[in-house]
Copies of this chain bind each other. A is one copy, B any other.
Amino acid sequence: MELGINLSFALKRWPEPERWASIVREDLGLELVQFTFDLLDPWWPQRERRIMAERVRRAAADAGITIHSAQLGLAWYTYNGLLHPDPAGRQIARQWWQRAAETAAEIGAPAAGGPLGALSAADAADPTTRDERYAAMLEEAVIASEVAAAAGLQALLIEPTPLPREIPHTIAGAQQLVADLRGRTAVPIRWVLDVGHALYRPLYGNDVSLEDWLLPLHDDIGLIHLQNHDFQSDAHWGWPDDRGVYDVASFVRTVRQASLADVPIVIELFYPFEMADDAVLASVHTTVRHCREGLADGAIAPDV
């Protein structure tokens, strides 16, 4: 199984591409990253964005790092995206997905994406509006796939989130979305499944399991986000963490039993901005070591 890391750990602290590339390759011993638009915003003016994107592309290539994809992070997730209640907001989101595809191509990533958007509380409370927003979002996803294809990308990533105002947030909703988009997109849709999202008990109940997600979405899963959490929050902690209880070896066994051992596993960590840099780096190190050990344990000791 292939292990990589999302660059969310590097925000503000190690934004220089050569620096995060060195941490990833030399310190952590990894060869796979998921780039985050939190290091390079698709909104930024094209001229400067291209200079910075080229530096990303070169640093990854020089270090022998593969960029799996580019995913939205804190910055764009702050807004309502393709489900914005204002038509101007939705028009803006369409432009974001175009710019995101271009930026992904500029750094040499073959795919881009993330969560699609969030309804406002008012829109979510009105079934007619919710249906309209969903239908319009499908059209926007098709358009996003077309601009992705035009930029030379090979896939569009969509990540379910555990929020009732976001789409999709259930297994059935994800299956519906795949069915509604089947045959209509210019590049394939690939799911990004996050273990902290998928197993969020306040929404899905105490009995939810990762298998519940892996089996029905199986054929379209492109990436799995691995994070430590407590089943009660979208925590994105590392290992060890007193608050987190998520078991990596068991996760690995589940993924293997679902015949998904060929799907890349990408660790995604977020730390408070005020946390000391050394403490963050130490946590990233112990997390990667723990996940690597969990991958090994899960591979040799199946508990079927």
A interface vs B, CB < 8 Å? 11-16, 19, 38, 41, 43-45, 48-49, 51-52, 55, 73-80, 84-86, 88-89, 91-92, 95, 118, 120-122, 161-163, 165, 200, 202-203, 233-234, 272-274, 276-277
Choice from B16, B41, B89, B161 contacting A15 with Cβ under 8 Å:
B89
12 further A-B contacts with Cβ under 8 Å, apart from A13-B165, A73-B78, A75-B79, are A11-B78, A14-B121, A15-B80, A16-B85, A16-B120, A16-B122, A48-B88, A74-B75, A75-B76, A77-B273, A161-B274, A202-B274
Q: B88 and A19: CB pair below 8 A?
A: no
Question: Which among B19, B89, B121, B200 is the interface contact of A274 at CB below 8 angstroms?
Answer: B200
Distance in angstroms between the alpha carbons of A120 and B74 in the assembled complex: 18
Residues in B with CB closer than 8 Å to A52 are: 86, 88-89
In the bound complex, CA of A19 to CA of B120 (Å): 10
Some 20 contacts from A to B, beta carbons below 8 A apart, are A11-B78, A12-B80, A13-B120, A14-B120, A14-B122, A15-B84, A16-B122, A19-B121, A19-B122, A41-B79, A43-B44, A45-B95, A48-B91, A49-B92, A51-B86, A73-B78, A77-B273, A200-B274, A233-B272, A234-B272
CB distance from A275 to the nearest CB of B (A): 9
How close is A116's CB to chain B, nearest CB, in angstroms? 13
A92 touching B48, Cβ below 8 Å: yes
Shortest beta-carbon distance from A198 to chain B in Å = 13
A78 vs B43: C-alpha distance in the bound complex, in angstroms?
14
| Chain B residues within 8 Å of A14, by CB | 120-122
A-B pairs, 3 with minimum CB distance: A43-B43, A48-B88, A51-B88
Beta-carbon contact of A12 and B165 below 8 Å:
yes
Q: Once bound together, how far apart are the Cα atoms of A274 and B77, in whole Å?
A: 12
Q: Is the CB of A38 within 8 A of B78?
A: yes
Complex Cα spacing A49 to B91, Å: 10
Residues of B close to A13: CB separation below 8 A:
120-121, 165
- Roughly how many angstroms separate A85 CA and B41 CA in the complex, as a whole number? 15
Bound Cα distance from A234 to B73, whole angstroms: 20
Please name all residues of chain B whose beta carbon is closer than 8 Å to the beta carbon of A74 when the two chains form the complex: 74-75, 78
Q: How distant is the Cα of A217 from the Cα of B74 in the complex, in angstroms?
A: 32
